[in-house]
Amino acid sequence: MDATLARLVEEAKLAAPDAKIAERALPLLDLTSLNDDDTDERIVALCDRAVTPAGRVAAVCIHPRFIPVAKRRLENKGVAIATVVNFPGGGESAAEVAGSTRDAIRAGADEIDVVLPWRDFKAGERTVPNDILRACRDACGDGILMKVILETGGLDDADLIERASRDAVAAGADFLKTSTGKLQPAATLEAAAIMLAVIRDSGKPVGFKAAGGIRDTAGAATYLHLAGALMGEGWATPSTFRFGASGLLDALLGDLGQGATGQKPRGGY
């Protein structure tokens, strides 16, 4: 990471949380449950938490099999349904990814979070990852958001994260996302700075999603500060910036004086 980005990361770590940050962060939240043992009942509870006295979250992010449950529960609520493909390992073929994406969209998904084949990418392979992202992009068409999960904790190298970010943007990503939440470290400010700088330099309308390990308003404040420093104050809106999290919602509501909203999903988020 160059000196400018390193300085911005250090400054972001000093960002102070307050109720205004909590109010700003809540509508940026992709409320997430991606546990292997999720049930219909747990997803219903998740959806019921998505609309709060302080406002609604941007989306719920769930496994594809629960899309119909979420769609029924969130009908006319103004909350998008996001799901994952090639998740979490990134080992599916381009044809499988395209098929899974089309199936999810037919079931009612509004947003697709697709895992870059980061192990292949780390090993030097470029054609297979590119083919998978382009297959997903084609399946999404123009109306469905495609968020590309880089799994930055697995890439664990600034140059690799930068290259993967550039390739994902070139393949048509609508968002760059840090992590699956299944591998540690998950989201880090250092990875976020590299990804945001690539988005800025691309000149394209690409958003950013920090996912995994962000559990309180203080953590949210650091990422919002960093995004403002790199992209401009006010850039972070639901169309350009998301937090992938579960427990973060209760923390934000607590700081807004609203208390908890019920059962918290389990898992890496």
Residues forming the active site: 113, 177, 209
Write down the H helix ranges in 1-39.
3-12, 19-25
Tokens of 27: 């509508």
CB 19 within 8 A of CB 218: no
List the Cα angle 215/207/130 in 5-degree steps: 110
Torsion of CA 27, 135, 40, 68, to 10 degrees: 80
Q: Which positions ≥6 away from 112 have C-beta within 8 Å?
A: 82, 83, 84, 85, 101, 104, 105, 136, 139, 140, 144, 145, 146, 147
- Rounded CA-CA distance 263/88 in Å is 24
For strands 51-52 and 241-245, give the pairing: unpaired
Integer Cα distance of 54 and 16 in angstroms: 21
Helix or strand run (H / E) with residue 245: strand 241-245
